[in-house]
Amino acid sequence: MRETPISADAPPIAADHFEGFRTIGRILKTAASHPELEIPVLICGNRRDIGGNRRFHAVLLASLLVATPLAATAQLRPSQPEPPSGWTEKRALVAKRHVVVAAHPLAAEAGFRMLEKGGSAVDAAIATQLVLGLVEPHASGLGGGAFLLAHDAKAKRTVAIDARETAPSGANPQLFLGADGKPMNFQAAVVGGRSVGVPGTPRLLEVAHARMGRLPWAALFQPAIELAEKGFPMSPRLHTLVGKDKTLAEQPATRAYFFGADGQPKPVGTLLRNPAYAQTLRAMAAKGADAFYTGEIAADIVAAVRNHANPGSMTLEDLAGYRVRDVEPLCGPYRAWRLCGMPPSSSGGIAVLQMLGMLEGHDLAAVRPGSAQAVHLLSEAGRLAFADRGRFVGDDRFVEVPVQGLVDKGYLAQRAKLIAPEKSMGKAQPGTPPGLKVALADDPVDEVAGTSHIAIVDAQGNAVSMTTTIEGFFGSKQMVRGFLLNNELTDFNFQPLEAGREVANAVAPGKRPRSSMAPFLVFDAKSGRLEQAVGSPGGSLIINYVAKALVATLDWKMDMQAALSLPNFGSRGGPTEVEAGTELEKVGAALKAMGHEVRAIDMTSGLAGIRRTAKGWEAAADPRREGVARGR
């Protein structure tokens, strides 16, 4: 039963207008959700961006004023993840002893140092995360949350910890509604304190270390403290994202840190020092996570949230009361393997298992990677998974989520019959999974991406697959004590009701917003031996990224680097999306002939993966970002 019911006094859903569209992606996302509307667009030229991908400019020919009520039209989000910043060819690393893959070389090096000292996979993950919060601040950090899968090789046991941010006790279903009862503009909701959830990452690191750490807690902080005090060079990707963010320079703390006196982003290679972050880390190293959740650091977080022009309601009690959740890994069969991911509050584990379960009846090994048939099959499975995701998945402490029904083998077999070999189904409808108890409304909301992934295997064969986030890149743009605060609450549906029914992902006090993060561990189904650790950043696109990587390694027998480098594609319930600037654009005509609406977009995955081979642990990082593997 729900712990916090939605108020019956919630304002009615009002009609809204398409106003202020700033990008063609946002227009197309709305069109995809509402095929009954015709949106005239004039294409007028193209260019190439820094990553070499084609881009199109579009001009809205006519202002659309519609009287039909639309689902969350004012909550339109960027339909793509973090912008691209180039492509770097990479080769897989084979390590015989231990290995770590992370989104920045300095972070991977910190984790590797812990492994070399005899540390566990969890020790290495903590050191890696603390450095990522410094060198990749736009993606994750102390001010955010994470999902952790950790495998104990000796005990043959896998644990899952949900450290998703929570809504403050003062949050209510009308949090993102204006005085007129309409949803706020998305960017207006993001910047400031209103969007900030109670962070979970610091508590996660402490709990994981207490259970699975080997090195002293304070030792894990040293690499990040040293880098914060001595400085690190601004990377090309960080420089690019600072330049692309339109609101970062408007916030005093981030303007002082990321921008020069001329108002321009600091140049690539600029030495960035962050003594405030070093002080925060020293406090946590000495006093544990309580140094973050209580005392002066907590007071500064609350002040930043409550005193902003766009304030939130977070209190000291909210911070002090935060707890991680121990949850059972969500596991399912796929051919000769057993795949384990996260249950709610993430939708990623369910959706990936659904997609692969629906495709198990197809001989994917006989399908050529990069072909129209490959894109067709995975995209159709994605449509069905996202339809169920939008209807049924939210924080399962607040809504009845039929988790086991959604991944039930019989249910998936029935859903798989909707996938025609040569014709797209168009818009998929939710199914009726076993165990369904509550009638909920469809939820059109997707999260944007400010996320990172860490994959580690230590010398004892223990493994970590952890996806970590602050939601949008640079989160809420609020910097406190050297770290950025998340904007995770904008992952909720801004409207508590759709078509008069409650949505699974409505705001409620203490609730965790739905996520798409999908860390996975793969095991041999017979022996139980660990075979892979994989995951990715990328907002709602994470589900398709991870499914692609798993199919590429398990069915197409690609090495890990080739699997991660493979062009991205899939459907989130709307158009079939293919990665712009890749050979997949060439199969667009074939897909259209099969009834697909095709859209080429940036798909800036940040996949990190490790797999067992006869020669050792084969580890790889996505060429679309700055990640590397370090091992021995």
Q: Are 392 and 344 in contact (CB under 8 A)?
A: no
What is the distance between the alpha carbons of residues 632 and 99, in angstroms, rounded to a whole number? 7
What is the distance between the alpha carbons of residues 386 and 76, in angstroms, rounded to a whole number? 17
Q: Are 382 and 359 in contact (CB under 8 A)?
A: no
Residue 138, CB half-sphere, CA atoms under 13 Å: how many? 25
**What totals of helices (H) and strands (E) does the chain contain, helices first?**
19, 25
Which one, of 222, 124, 52, lies nearest residue 580 by Cα?
52
497 DSSP β-pair partners: 502
Which one, of 167, 191, 174, lies nearest residue 494 by Cα?
174
What is the distance between the alpha carbons of residues 164 and 397, in angstroms, rounded to a whole number? 13
The owner of tokens 């207006």 is 188
The owner of tokens 């050792």 is 616
What is the distance between the alpha carbons of residues 542 and 81, in angstroms, rounded to a whole number? 10
What is the distance between the alpha carbons of residues 372 and 356, in angstroms, rounded to a whole number? 18
Kindly give the pairing relationship between strand 497-498 and strand 501-502.
antiparallel
What is the distance between the alpha carbons of residues 488 and 536, in angstroms, rounded to a whole number? 18
The catalytically annotated residue of 158, 254, 451, 467 is: 451
Q: Are 509 and 4 in contact (CB under 8 A)?
A: yes
What is the distance between the alpha carbons of residues 589 and 598, in angstroms, rounded to a whole number? 9
Residue 37, CB half-sphere, CA atoms under 13 Å: how many? 23
What is the distance between the alpha carbons of residues 597 and 571, in angstroms, rounded to a whole number? 10
484 DSSP β-pair partners: 479
- Other Cβ atoms less than 10 A from the Cβ of 504: the count is 25
Which one, of 598, 430, 426, lies nearest residue 35 by Cα?
426
Which one, of 550, 489, 432, 548, lies nearest residue 193 by Cα?
489
Kindly give the pairing relationship between strand 598-601 and strand 576-579.
parallel
Q: How far is CA 361 from CA 65, 170, 412, 458, 545, in A?
A: 46, 48, 10, 35, 21
What is the distance between the alpha carbons of residues 26 and 75, in angstroms, rounded to a whole number? 10
Is 451 labeled as catalytic in the residue annotation?
A: yes
To the nearest 10 degrees (0 to 180), the angle between helices 121-135 and 201-212 is: 160
DSSP letter at 83 equals P
Look at phi and psi of residue 77 and say left if phi exceeds 0, alpha if psi is from -120 to 50, else beta. Answer: beta
Residue 108 burial class via C-beta count within 10 angstroms: exposed 0-12, middle 13-18, buried 19 and up: buried
Residue 166 burial class via C-beta count within 10 angstroms: exposed 0-12, middle 13-18, buried 19 and up: buried
The owner of tokens 């403050």 is 168
Q: Are 410 and 430 in contact (CB under 8 A)?
A: no
Which one, of 617, 456, 462, 532, lies nearest residue 124 by Cα?
456
The catalytic residue positions are: 451
